[in-house]
Each structure stands twice: as C-alpha cells, then as structure tokens.
Amino acid sequence: MTNIRDVAKSAGVSVTTVSRVLNNHPYVSEEKRKLVLKAIEEMKYHININAVHLTKGVTKLIGVVIPFINHPYFSSILDGIANEARKNDYKLILFQTDYDLDKEIEALEMLRMKQIDSLIICSRECKWSIIEEYETYGPIVVCEDGENLGVKSVYIDHYQAFKTGLDHLVNRGHKRIGYCIGRRTGKNSEQREAAYLDTLEKIDEPVHEDWIFDQAYTIVDGEKVVHRFMHLVERPTALLVTSDQVAAGILMQCSKEHIRIADELSIISFDNHPISEYLQLTTIDLPLEQMGKELLGAVLKPDPVRNRQMPFRLIERKSVKTL
Amino acid sequence: MTNIRDVAKSAGVSVTTVSRVLNNHPYVSEEKRKLVLKAIEEMKYHININAVHLTKGVTKLIGVVIPFINHPYFSSILDGIANEARKNDYKLILFQTDYDLDKEIEALEMLRMKQIDSLIICSRECKWSIIEEYETYGPIVVCEDGENLGVKSVYIDHYQAFKTGLDHLVNRGHKRIGYCIGRRTGKNSEQREAAYLDTLEKIDEPVHEDWIFDQAYTIVDGEKVVHRFMHLVERPTALLVTSDQVAAGILMQCSKEHIRIADELSIISFDNHPISEYLQLTTIDLPLEQMGKELLGAVLKPDPVRNRQMPFRLIERKSVKTL
DNA sequence: CTGTTAGCGCGTTCAT
DNA sequence: ATGAACGCGCTAACAG
C-alpha cells in the first residue's frame, strides 16, 4: 500500500507538504502542489483514514442507538438524524438494540474507545448514572426527558402529548377510554400510562386493564386489537393509539367488522404520518424528523441547553365523535 | 488519555504483555495477567480502537449503500444484513443515497480509505466497471444480477418474479394487465418492464402506457393509483403491484370507491409481508431478510460463488379472479 | 513557504 | 514466557 511517504519521495517534497495539499492547507506553492497532485495520481495514492483517526483522535462518526429501524416512529427520527448528519459531513454507525441493554453498552463502549465521536440514544435502557459516566468520553444525547440530570436530551413530553389526546376525548364527552401501545415498559410508556391513570382519576373513572392493548406496533396488529375489543363485555368509546400505523390497522379491521369509526369507536392516533391524513384520523403531530435533526445538532454543538423539549399539536380530523 | 504503555509501566511489565492479555493470547503467566488486569482496572484504561484499526488494517465495519431506510423492501433487507452482522461481530455504517450517485461513490471511497472492510450495495447507480475497480480495495457485493461480470452479487431475478405474476394472471384469463412500481428507472425496474412487455407481446396485447403507475412507494400512494385507475377510459382487469404496502393502499381506496377487489380488479403484490396475509392478497414471496443475510455472508466469505440468485414463490390468496 | 521530527496507541517479529 | 524495538500512515509543532 502506497503511503504519504512514498508520494513525498516521488514528488520530491516532504511528507508535510503532501499532508498540506491533502488537507487544503494554505502555504503551499502552486508549483509543489501540482507536483504532489501528479504523484498522487500516478501512484494511485489514497489516504488511510484510520491513521487520520488515530492522529486526530476523531472519526467523524456518530453512533445511533435505536431499538428497531423498521418502525415508522424510529425510522422517522433516524431519517432526521441521517439528513442532518450528511449536511454536517458525519457518518452514522448503527446500533440496533431490540431494547437489549448489552447492545446499548456496546455503543457506549465504542464511544469510550473513540470509534465514534458522539452518541445519540433514541431509546434508553441503561441507568442515567451509566450514561453520565460515559459522557466523559464524548457527547451523548438521549431522546428522552433528561430530567435536569447531567445528560443532554431532546425529547417529546409524552405525558403531556398523551394528556392532550385524553383531554380532547374527555372534552368531547368520552369517559370510557382505552389505549394501544407498543410495549408497557420503558420511560415513554410509563409516562403515557401515568397520563392515562391521572386522567381517569380526574374524571373519576375506574381503570379497565383490558382496555389497554399492548404489543401494538404495526398495521397488522390493529386486527388483534379489534378482536380483543370485540370480545370485551364492556367496551370503551374511544381509543388513544400510539401510532398512525396501528390506528390504520384498527380502521381497516373495524371496517371489516362493521364497527363504525367515530360513531362506535373514536380514535386519536399519534405521529401525523401521511396515512393519518389519508384516513382522516384525528392525530397528534409529533415532529419526529425535526427531533432527529435536533438530536444531531445537540450532539455536535456545545450548546448550553441541556434539555430541549419538542412541541406537538393535536390535529382534528374525523375519527372522534362528540358524545 | 492513558495508553497501553502507561499500563505496562504501572503493572511492571512490557507493553507486549499488556497487549497479550488484552487479546487473550496464551503464553502469559497467570500472575502477570492478574497484575495487568489490576492496573487496567485502576487506571481506567481502555483500548483505542483506532490504533488497532491502523495496525491491523481492518475495522470490523461494513458499509451498506441503500437508497432509503424507511421503505419496507429495503428495511427488510437491512434487517437481514444487520442481524447477520451482529452474529459475526461486525458493525454497519450506513450510506443512505436517495439514489444519488455521489453518495454511492462516497461509500466506495470509504472502502478505499479502509474505513470499512467491505461494502454491500443494495441499489447500484454507478457503472459496473467502477465497482470492479474499487473491488481491489475490499470485498463488494451488489444486490442485483452481477451478470457474470467480476462483481459478486446476491439478488432476486425480478424479470422472472414479475413474469411469474404475469403468467398467473394470464393463466387466469386476464389480458388487460397493468402494473404499479416505485420508479421507472433502475435495473430492477427495467427488468420488470421487460417482463411486462414480453408478456404483452406474447399474448398479443397492446401496451397502455397509462396502465403503468409509477411513483408508488407507500400505502398512501395507493390512493393516487386508484384515482388514476378510475379516470381511465379503458381499464385493466388486473394490476401487478411491486409492494404489499401499495397494494394495501389500493385495497383501502378501492373499498372507499366501491371497486370490488378481484371481481373488478385483480391484484398481485410482491414481498409477502404480514399485511398481505392480513388482506388476503395474492402475492409473490421475496426472501428479503434471507437475502440480507446472504449479502453479508457473501461479503465475509471468500466464497467462489459470485452470483447467487434467491428463490421466490407465488402465494395464492384471494385478490385474483379467474375470468 | 518548506522540511525534520516527534508523537498518536497498538501489534508483532525476534531475540532471550 | 517475556520484552525491546520497529512499523502502521498521518498530523502538527518547531525550526528554518
């Protein structure tokens, strides 16, 4: 493999000069620059970026910890991150965790070993204290309320977002409300459950454990939800659904089962992806791509703002009936 | 930053010995090993992986060139790649191209600069000759028929897959057949178009340019397809749809417009994702995850097989009517 | 403007 | 079983 020294020799200059033209430094005479360029061309020289990484202690690589990539919620965030990364000339290295703690630690370790300059954690499994510890090795930003701990965060207040949906339903006269969610565990899920329980308490309604439908990730999962819904002795009049996709599945299955959306079952979904407009779903818009963009921004800039909350807003369409 | 030399000093051994325990080499006395481990612990030493990369000339990183990540076709492949990568202790670095040639070249350059050990190209834009040229820098495998050129490939024969769908339709008495596709350009699309044209010619049917619906990527795009379909003076009796998602969208919109699937419009989709079973779509199963797995395998093993074709199969369900 | 030289942190002969 | 010394390819003082 031909290296910078070979080029220098062949061009009759020093390695420094070669390095300078390689990095577009000033203070190189046009004459020598041409000489070097010619040598590079002739010898088919190409820089070894690992040596650069070692020398500079930086890789221009950012790690992204993400549970899945084939879920619209996360792939939207990832899209936002990826686009912004490209703009800033960073590349992404993926740590798909399936919510596995070990995979997350692995990513943290890569930060420590300087394979990546910084780390974006889209879904946290490990303790805050662990993250704080690793922060000495490079910037870390978590997509979850940092709660004014040391860790930087860019996040959506899922408690308030959920509450907004709940309140909308309550204001429309609904009292019998259930919800669909991916998993019951994890910070975001807990926040949503808290909002749910708080609201029920406020309107003095009992909790129906069987009105909480979990394992709802995809459009196909909507089918199961509707099946379970139909077998209920007591049915809710409204459902909060944490993804437009699942809501779409519910709509489709309801149509098959002749359950009239809004009339018999009101739906508020989340994300405001194109499909929700198509289906005229009342939904809560979550600025996912934007959040991805800001996650990357946060990891890059030595911004003093540690906890950045993203806005959300309810978009009224036609899936909620006023009782 | 504490390095291997510091540890060696502190443990009272040579750097070589430290390196040995780091890499689990034999020929280190248990006594010294303990000493080293203790020093590592105390000094909070951690290896700098970039130095390892430089020395070894290898990074355990594989690049993946992919146009989008939020499209089921590609995210399925990516999933397959990612799972297999994890098993083999490789990490992935993503090059999302949006079909942009420059981004693809960028990935190729990373191979040349040894930032990645090998490269998987899920969708090729650049010339075969360019890829062959870069192959000197590391293994490359393309997810497209390599046509016995120098480049390794793992792919689906989209001509035959499309033909299989077409023949099924023809055998069921259909003659007026159209199709939906993401884009008209690109190798895969050209193959499908060729299969389409060949079939029409065989059954002596004219080509209706307006029976070819492009820009169909997502479930929402199904709406536009149906709109265009409805405004047709002459309508096809069947549609081949290159993704289950788009087919799902078509089904939904047809339901709204009271167009009866199968009876008025037969559909064959591709991929066999869960939604196709849910909707009872006749579809052509494409082993996407498996292909991802084999793409990674191909890039790792010095396998002599250069062109590996993946199988596919038609799954009959209820979206095709026999005329 | 240009070159010399000392690292960056680690792996690896090759003696011992 | 162990260590000295060199090399990986490049950058960045520093000197000129």
Please report, rounded to whole angstroms, the spatial distance between the CA atom of protein residue B14 and the C1' atom of nucleotide C16.
Answer: 14
d(CA B47, C1' C14) / Å: 25
pLDDT of B185 higher than 80: yes
Please indicate whether, in this complex, the C-beta atoms of A219 and B69 are within 8 angstroms of each other: no
Does the residue A147 lie in any domain?
yes
Residue A319: both structure tokens together: 């899936």
Band of residue B147 on the pLDDT scale cut at 50, 70, 90: confident
Output the pLDDT for position B201: 97
Interface check for A3 against chain B (CB to CB < 8 A): the answer is: no
Helix (H) or strand (E) holding B298: helix B288-300
Does residue B316 belong to any structural domain of this protein?
no
Alpha helix stretches (DSSP H) within chain A: 4-11, 15-22, 30-43, 49-56, 72-87, 101-112, 128-134, 158-171, 187-202, 221-230, 244-256, 274-278, 288-300
Res A70: pLDDT: 84
Give the number of other CB atoms < 10 A from CB of residue B291: 21
DSSP state, residue B242: S
Closest partner CB to B50 (pick from A59, A223, A274): A59
B34 near A CB under 8 A: no
Are B165 and B278 found together in one domain?
yes
Sheet with A282-285: strands ordered across: A212-213, A177-180, A238-241, A266-271, A282-285, A313-315
Q: Looking at residue B214, what DSSP letter applies?
A: -
- The residue segments making up the domain with residue B202 are 158-286
Q: Is a pLDDT exceeding 80 seen at residue B148?
A: no
Cβ–Cβ under 8 Å, residues B268 and B285:
no
Residues 51-110 of B with CB under 8 A from A: 51, 53-54, 57, 59, 61, 69-70, 72, 75-76, 78-79, 82, 86, 91-96, 109-110
Q: Is residue A315 part of a domain?
A: no
Determine, for residues B75 and A69 on separate chains, whether the beta-carbon distance falls below 8 Å.
Answer: yes
Which residues of chain B lie closer than 8 angstroms to A53, CB-CB? 50, 53-54
Q: Return the percentage of chain B with pLDDT > 70, whole number.
A: 100
Residues B17 and B163 in one domain: no
Structure tokens at B307: 């062109």
Helices B30-43, B4-11: axis angle to 10 degrees equals 120
Closest protein residue to D2 using CA and C1' atoms? B17
Nearest to A53 among B50, B72, B75 (CB): B50
Q: Which residues of B210-223 are buried (b: 16+ CB within 10 A; e: fewer)?
A: ebebbebbbbbbbb
**Please, which residues have CB within 8 angstroms of residue B199's CB and are 6 or more apart in sequence?**
B163, B166, B167, B170, B177
CB A189 within 8 Å of CB A181: yes
Same domain assignment for residues B166 and B98: no
Q: Do B75 and A70 touch (CB under 8 A)?
A: yes
What value, to the nearest 5°, has the Cα angle with vertex A206 and ends A200 and A210? Answer: 100
Residue A107 belongs to some domain of the structure: yes
Read off the pLDDT band of B39 (50, 70, 90): very high
Q: What is the pLDDT of residue B80?
A: 95
Strands B282-285 and B313-315: antiparallel
Token duo for residue B99: 């079909």
What does residue B57 show for φ and ψ, rounded to 5 degrees? 75, 25
Residues B278-313 pLDDT 10s = 999 999 999 999 999 999 999 998 777 789 999 999
Angle at A169 between CA A166 and CA A174, to 5 degrees: 115
Report yes or no on A323 lying in a domain.
no
pLDDT band at B1 (very low <50, low <70, confident <90, very high): confident
**Per the structure, how many domains does chain B have?**
3
Answer yes or no: do B122 and B205 share one domain.
no
Q: E strand or H helix at A95, and its extent?
A: strand A91-96
Close Cβ partners of B243 (under 8 Å, ≥ 6 residues apart): B72, B73, B182, B216, B217, B269, B270, B271
Helix, strand, or coil (residue B154): strand
Q: Which residues of A touch B86 (CB under 8 A)?
A: 96
Same domain, B271 and B295: no
Q: Give the closest nucleotide to B26 (alpha carbon vs C1').
A: D1
Q: Check: CB of residue B60 under 8 Å from CB of residue B88.
A: no
Q: Give the gap in angstroms from C-alpha B59 to the nearest C-alpha of chain A.
A: 9
- What average pLDDT does range B153-169 have in this prediction? 97
Query: Running along chain A, 323 residues long, what does each successive block of 10 average in pLDDT?
Result: 91 92 89 92 93 94 93 93 93 93 95 95 94 94 87 95 98 97 93 97 96 95 95 96 96 94 97 93 97 95 84 97 93
* Residue A286 backbone dihedrals phi, psi, to 5 degrees: -115, 125
A219 → closest Cβ in B75, B109, B275: B275
Sheet containing B238-241: give its strands across: B212-213, B177-180, B238-241, B266-271, B282-285, B313-315
CB contact under 8 A, A218 and B278: no
* pLDDT bracket for residue B77 (50, 70, 90): very high
CB atoms within 10 A of CB A305: 10
Write down the pLDDT at residue A81: 96
Q: Give a yes or no: residue B106 inside a domain.
A: yes
Residue A40: its chain B contacts at CB < 8 A? none
Same domain, B263 and B121: no
Q: Domain holding A166: CATH number?
A: 3.40.50.2300
- Residue at A318 is within a domain: no
Judgement on whether residues B299 and B197 belong to the same structural domain of the protein? no
Q: Is the dihedral of CA B306, B271, B190, B71 positive or negative?
A: negative
The SS3 of residue B255 is helix
pLDDT at position B150, please?
83
**Phi then psi dihedrals of residue A213, to 5 deg:** -105, 115
Nearest by Cα to A242 from A309, A207, A196, A175: A196
Residue A20, pLDDT score: 93
Q: Are residues B162 and B152 in the same domain?
A: no
Summarize chain A as % helix, strand, coil (round to 5): 45, 15, 35
B212 and B223 both lie in a single domain = yes
Taking the C1' atom of C9, which residue's CA lies nearest? B51
The whole-number pLDDT of residue A317 equals 97
Residues A87 and A41 reside in one and the same domain? no
Tell me, what CATH number does A17's domain have?
1.10.260.40
For residue B29, give Cα distances in angstroms to A149, B18, B21: 45, 12, 10
Of B50, B75, B252, the CB nearest to A54: B50
CB-to-strand C under 7 Å, chain B 20-79: 20, 22-23, 47-48, 51-52, 54-56
Residues A104 and A21 both lie in one domain: no
Please indicate, yes or no, whether residues A14 and A119 belong to a single structural domain of this protein: no
Distance in angstroms (rounded) separating the CA atoms of residues A298 and A287: 16
Per-residue pLDDT at B25:
86
Chain A: nearest CA to B254, how far in angstroms?
Answer: 12
Report the pLDDT value the prediction gives residue B70, as an integer from 0 to 100: 84
How much is the pLDDT for B303? Answer: 74
Residue B320 maps to a domain? no
